[in-house]
Chain A
Amino acid sequence: MTARDLIPIVVLAALAALLPLVVTSSPVMNFLVFTLIVALGAQGWNILGGFGGQFSFGHAAFFGTGAYVTAILQLRFGVNAWAGLLLAMAAGAAVAWTIGFLSFRSGLRGSYFALVTLAFAEVFRILANATAFTGGAAGLLIKLDVHPANLQFADRAVFYWLVLAFVTGVLLLTRWIQRSRFGAQLVAVRENEDAAKALGVDSLKVKLRAIALSGAVTALSGCLYAQYFLYIDAHIAYGSWISVELLLAPIIGGVGTVFGPVVGALTLHGLGELAKQFAGRIPGIDLIVFGGVLVLAVAFARGGILGLLERLRDRGRGMMTRGAKEVSHAGR
């Protein structure tokens, strides 16, 4: 990685960190924290889905594992919340690796992989909903005890900075993946698995590494969700809504790019809020917008918003060079 790779990330993170000094309204802060948590999980999805080309429809399995592990460790075993956060990530990685091992070893890809991940998430949801250990259908309430050591903060801005720090960390991680040998192998597997194998890439190992990383990051976002809202149940943690959210953001923003998931999450939730403001109390209006944007993005903006911007930039450049040529012709 060079300084040119790092500077945009650092500058954007610094600018975003200044926001709470300007914005003090708590609904806006709530919106920002929630959107960043989704963005973080979406970054996790993007490592596997974007760079590895394995479209998971069941990232709720990792998100929910992160949320439940954090909550259960605190409630049932009195483990410190920060230690819980690390263990949640480890659990997310372990669950992801296992699901990956089972499905990649059987050679599942494409729609089959999407279906099997969806089914795993559903199994987790049903189990969490039916077992007393996980709080059953009533869910789990994390005790309100505001203290930095408990990962609970009186000021929303502090939580915002915390999530922002994690998002920035994963942006850097993603940039590193993009520049590393591992990232190149992952992209090779996405583009043509057989060709990658022929070149000596251990595709199973590469995919397993990607899904474990992806699971850890998404579990981290689930853990932060649980710590922010202090309540989870099976439908929140393992529900299909979160699988869909985590997949929509990168696809809308720009799949397989560093900033795509964050851009996508901000755009989607921004549009969703706007729709709610305009349409008032119609239930599901924000989701209608999400679905519509997804169809439009696939139809007209392959590569998402970032892809669209890049194309516009290229076109702009094309015009400029053409303009420059004309000028030089005129001068001749």
Chain B
Amino acid sequence: MYSPQIILEAALNGLMTGAVYALIALGLTLIYGVLHIINFAHGALLTCAMFAVWVAWAWLGLDPYLVIVPLVPLMFVLGYGLQRFVIGPASHGDDGNILLVTLGLSIVLENVLLAVFQSDTRTLDTDYSFQVVALGPLLLSYPRVIGLGVAVVVTGLLWLVLNRTDTGKAIRAVAKEKLGANLVGIDVPHVYAITFGLGCACLAVAAGLLMPTFYVNPRIGSAFVLVAFTVVVLGGMGSLPGALLGGLFIGVVESLCGLFLGDSLGQIGIFLIFIAVLLVRPTGLFGAKA
């Protein structure tokens, strides 16, 4: 039997891993909520961002947290461009096509990274990678505490952008009624691209938070993207608070499953939840009834 302290620590660590899942899922759910598409390239884009963090650290000696600052606008521009000039025009507005185009993009991105960086797994180390914060009797990993804090702040910022700015209003209008938004003069392709860019910007933050404790290789994105899908479905497609809570929940489930079932079976809990939610309540726990 495990002592309660170990279980509690595992749950808290899971909570903090979940915060990063939440950030990844936030981008995915935003894109889904507005464009009504499932972005299969999300994982590959995350891998790109993670390599960018690694390169900045290895070649320029920059701190991974610091890299987030320039990486956020960079990823935004990349996402904006991809949606505006590749995904949008190539898919002719058909959902099935968008699925296929983003799948094609993810294959290309992943393998370009493979061609450039080879399949080696890379890590970076900082002074604080293994630092811990003591909370009473519990020892928590310092980078993960930071991750949790930043994830909450970013969710809040995103909420503010969506609810308190004109751009946010336009995004919400397009999400609700594309045709109507177009009629009142909103440039729909532009709003689509901005949304996609925002989703990618979330990935830049996630990459910066992940790298001090995690590793990167060209295939790493697919591991995250399935988890992110689960979070999005669980939280209700398109719901921001759903993504945050769903991410935290999935992090805890994964951590506890890993503790009880061992590492190789740990992820299975996630997929079983995923399948169960899809089968029983595809609108998620926080989503509106379809």
Bound: A1/B200 CA distance, A: 52
Segment of A113-121, A150-158, A179-187, A314-322 engaged in the interface with chain B: A113-121
- In the bound complex, do residue A291 and residue B106 qualify as a contact, i.e. CB atoms below 8 Å apart? yes
Assuming the A-B contacts A291-B107, A292-B108, are A123 and B271 also in contact, with contact meaning beta carbons closer than 8 angstroms in the complex?
Answer: yes
Contacts of A111 in B (CB 8 A): 37-38, 95, 99
Bound: A287/B90 CA distance, A: 19
Shortest CB–CB separation between residue B33 and chain A, in angstroms?
Answer: 13
Asked whether A265 is an interface residue with its Cβ less than 8 Å from the other chain, the reply is no
Asked whether A299 is an interface residue with its Cβ less than 8 Å from the other chain, the reply is yes
Assuming the A-B contacts A108-B282, A299-B101, are A288 and B271 also in contact, with contact meaning beta carbons closer than 8 angstroms in the complex?
Answer: no
- In the bound complex, do residue A129 and residue B100 qualify as a contact, i.e. CB atoms below 8 Å apart? no
- In the bound complex, do residue B279 and residue A102 qualify as a contact, i.e. CB atoms below 8 Å apart? yes
Shortest CB–CB separation between residue A79 and chain B, in angstroms?
Answer: 28
Contacts of A290 in B (CB 8 A): 104, 107
Asked whether B278 is an interface residue with its Cβ less than 8 Å from the other chain, the reply is yes
Bound: A102/B279 CA distance, A: 7
- In the bound complex, do residue B107 and residue A244 qualify as a contact, i.e. CB atoms below 8 Å apart? yes
Asked whether A83 is an interface residue with its Cβ less than 8 Å from the other chain, the reply is no
Using C-beta atoms within 8 Å of the partner chain, give the interface range for chain A. 35 or more
Shortest CB–CB separation between residue B71 and chain A, in angstroms?
Answer: 24
- In the bound complex, do residue A106 and residue B107 qualify as a contact, i.e. CB atoms below 8 Å apart? no
- In the bound complex, do residue B275 and residue A299 qualify as a contact, i.e. CB atoms below 8 Å apart? no
Asked whether A240 is an interface residue with its Cβ less than 8 Å from the other chain, the reply is yes
Asked whether B280 is an interface residue with its Cβ less than 8 Å from the other chain, the reply is yes
- In the bound complex, do residue A115 and residue B233 qualify as a contact, i.e. CB atoms below 8 Å apart? yes
Which chain A residues numbered 193 to 216 have a C-beta less than 8 Å away from chain B? none
Shortest CB–CB separation between residue B228 and chain A, in angstroms?
Answer: 11
- In the bound complex, do residue A298 and residue B111 qualify as a contact, i.e. CB atoms below 8 Å apart? no
Encode contact with A along B84-110: 1 for CB under 8 Å, 0 otherwise: 001001111001110111011111111
Contacts of B90 in A (CB 8 A): 295, 298-299
Assuming the A-B contacts A110-B95, A116-B275, A295-B101, are A122 and B226 also in contact, with contact meaning beta carbons closer than 8 angstroms in the complex?
Answer: yes
- In the bound complex, do residue B112 and residue A126 qualify as a contact, i.e. CB atoms below 8 Å apart? no
Asked whether A283 is an interface residue with its Cβ less than 8 Å from the other chain, the reply is yes
Asked whether B167 is an interface residue with its Cβ less than 8 Å from the other chain, the reply is no
Shortest CB–CB separation between residue A54 and chain B, in angstroms?
Answer: 11
Asked whether B264 is an interface residue with its Cβ less than 8 Å from the other chain, the reply is yes
Asked whether B183 is an interface residue with its Cβ less than 8 Å from the other chain, the reply is no
Residue among A240, A288, A292, A295 with max Cβ neighbours from chain B (10 Å): A295
Bound: A15/B77 CA distance, A: 52
Bound: A293/B91 CA distance, A: 14
- In the bound complex, do residue B279 and residue A106 qualify as a contact, i.e. CB atoms below 8 Å apart? yes
Bound: A107/B282 CA distance, A: 9
Asked whether B123 is an interface residue with its Cβ less than 8 Å from the other chain, the reply is no
Shortest CB–CB separation between residue A312 and chain B, in angstroms?
Answer: 20
- In the bound complex, do residue B264 and residue A130 qualify as a contact, i.e. CB atoms below 8 Å apart? yes
Asked whether A63 is an interface residue with its Cβ less than 8 Å from the other chain, the reply is no
Encode contact with B along A79-112: 1 for CB under 8 Å, 0 otherwise: 0000000000000000000000011001110111
Bound: A292/B105 CA distance, A: 7
Shortest CB–CB separation between residue B234 and chain A, in angstroms?
Answer: 12
Q: B100: which of A116, A122, A298 is its contact (CB, 8 Å)?
A: A298
- In the bound complex, do residue B99 and residue A114 qualify as a contact, i.e. CB atoms below 8 Å apart? yes
- In the bound complex, do residue B107 and residue A288 qualify as a contact, i.e. CB atoms below 8 Å apart? yes
Shortest CB–CB separation between residue A231 and chain B, in angstroms?
Answer: 20
Asked whether A23 is an interface residue with its Cβ less than 8 Å from the other chain, the reply is no
Asked whether A282 is an interface residue with its Cβ less than 8 Å from the other chain, the reply is yes
Shortest CB–CB separation between residue B122 and chain A, in angstroms?
Answer: 15
- In the bound complex, do residue B279 and residue A287 qualify as a contact, i.e. CB atoms below 8 Å apart? no
Specify the chain B residue showing the minimal Cβ separation from A103: B279
Interface residue count for B (Cβ, 8 Å)? 46
Contacts of A284 in B (CB 8 A): 110-112, 114-115, 218
Asked whether B274 is an interface residue with its Cβ less than 8 Å from the other chain, the reply is yes
Contacts of B138 in A (CB 8 A): none
- In the bound complex, do residue B278 and residue A103 qualify as a contact, i.e. CB atoms below 8 Å apart? yes
Bound: A123/B92 CA distance, A: 34
Contacts of A258 in B (CB 8 A): none
Which chain B residues numbered 1 to 47 have a C-beta less than 8 Å away from chain A? 37-38
- In the bound complex, do residue A283 and residue B38 qualify as a contact, i.e. CB atoms below 8 Å apart? no
Which chain A residues numbered 279 to 330 have a C-beta less than 8 Å away from chain B? 282-285, 287-288, 290-295, 298-299, 302
Asked whether B267 is an interface residue with its Cβ less than 8 Å from the other chain, the reply is yes
Specify the chain B residue showing the minimal Cβ separation from A120: B275
- In the bound complex, do residue B278 and residue A283 qualify as a contact, i.e. CB atoms below 8 Å apart? no
Bound: A262/B174 CA distance, A: 41
Q: B229: which of A107, A115, A123 is its contact (CB, 8 Å)?
A: A115
- In the bound complex, do residue B265 and residue A298 qualify as a contact, i.e. CB atoms below 8 Å apart? no
Other than the given A122-B271, A123-B271, A298-B100, 15 more pairs (CB < 8 A) read A57-B103, A107-B282, A111-B95, A118-B226, A119-B274, A119-B278, A127-B268, A244-B103, A283-B118, A288-B107, A291-B103, A292-B108, A294-B100, A295-B104, A298-B91
Q: Which residues of B contact A (CB under 8 A)?
A: 37-38, 86, 89-92, 95-97, 99-101, 103-112, 114-115, 118-119, 218, 222, 226, 229-230, 233, 262, 264-265, 267-268, 271-272, 274-275, 278-280, 282
Nearest 4 pairs between A and B by C-beta?
A291-B107, A284-B111, A294-B104, A299-B90
15 residue pairs of the A-B complex, CB under 8 angstroms, read A106-B280, A108-B279, A111-B99, A115-B278, A118-B226, A118-B229, A119-B226, A120-B275, A123-B268, A126-B268, A130-B262, A284-B110, A288-B115, A294-B103, A298-B104
